[in-house]
Amino acid sequence: MITAFLFIFVFMKHLIAPSILAADFANLQRDIEMINQSEADWFHLDVMDGTFVPNISFGMPVISAINKHAKKTLDVHLMIVNPDKFIKTFKKNGADILTVHYEACPHLHRTIQAIKTEGMQAGVSLNPHTPIAVLEDVIRDIDVVLIMSVNPGFGGQSFIENTYKKVIQLKDMIEKSGSKALIEIDGGVNLETGAKLLAAGADVLVAGSFVFKSKNPINTIKELKDL
Ligand code: DX5
Ligand code: ZN
């Protein structure tokens, strides 16, 4: 019994979170059904406000529409200033995990608690220039750390190699602190970068273009899952 438990614990499979940003918005329901049927674990939803990042994506009406059809966890990545203002609304529209940017939250501890009070899992994202060390005093309060491996704002950018080092540092911080946070990576993920990220200690791989621009997205998700 104990051996079986340890086996499951040690060999917990990594998770795959396709990013809807790269989906065909004119055929969104078709793409949502594809993810429902695939081996993907989460829907990754990128919310951009044109202020925190130099791009605007989608907001509440689209998230609520996705929520009506999605049969998996909604992982909402907020690239917006003042995320505190909208925490309750994101919960109402179906978010299961709500991730805010460290760089957008002057009172990060309060923001994390507010997300958890609403019954969601709390994620914190770090831009490529932000060191892991800034999470030292909140790491035990966080469910997910989302390391940006590109500068946030756009899909289809190339992977920043310094990310591997950050994953190793974060894994070490998580283990030493007794935190249960998952390590999620976002930007430029493909089979090659994905394999190296998993070896460095990543738990969740976000993939946008690599999935949706491929000939057979269901199969591409399976290939990422089988890494
Ligand atoms: C970028 C977004 C990502 C994006 C990833 O700001 O946070 O989730 O969709 O896209 P790819 O996988 O194409 O780099
Ligand atoms: Zn994202």
Q: Average pLDDT for consecutive 10-residue bins of the chain (227 residues)?
A: 53 94 98 98 98 98 98 98 98 98 98 98 98 98 98 98 98 98 98 98 98 98 98
Contact 89, 120 (CB under 8 A): no
CB-based contacts of 26: which residues, under 8 Å, 6+ apart? none
Residue 77 confidence (pLDDT) = 99
Residue 200 confidence (pLDDT) = 98
DSSP per-residue letters across 180-220: --EEEEESS--HHHHHHHHHHT--EEEESHHHHTSS-HHHH
Q: How far is CA 182 from the centre of its chain?
A: 10
Of 98, 91, 44, the closest CA to residue 70 belongs to: 44
Residue 12 confidence (pLDDT) = 85
Residue 5 confidence (pLDDT) = 52
Distance between CA atoms of residues 29 and 68, nearest Å: 10
Residue 28 confidence (pLDDT) = 98
Distance between CA atoms of residues 168 and 89, nearest Å: 35
Determine whether the shortest distance from the Cβ of 101 to ligand 1 is under 6 A. no
Concerning whether 46 is annotated as a catalytic residue, the answer is yes
Helix (H, G, I), strand (E, B) or coil at 179: coil
Helix (H, G, I), strand (E, B) or coil at 94: coil
Concerning whether 24 is annotated as a catalytic residue, the answer is no
How are strands ordered across the β-sheet holding 42-48? 15-18, 204-207, 182-186, 144-148, 121-126, 97-101, 73-79, 42-48
**153 C-alpha to ligand 2 centroid (Å):** 8
Determine whether the shortest distance from the Cβ of 123 to ligand 1 is under 6 A. no
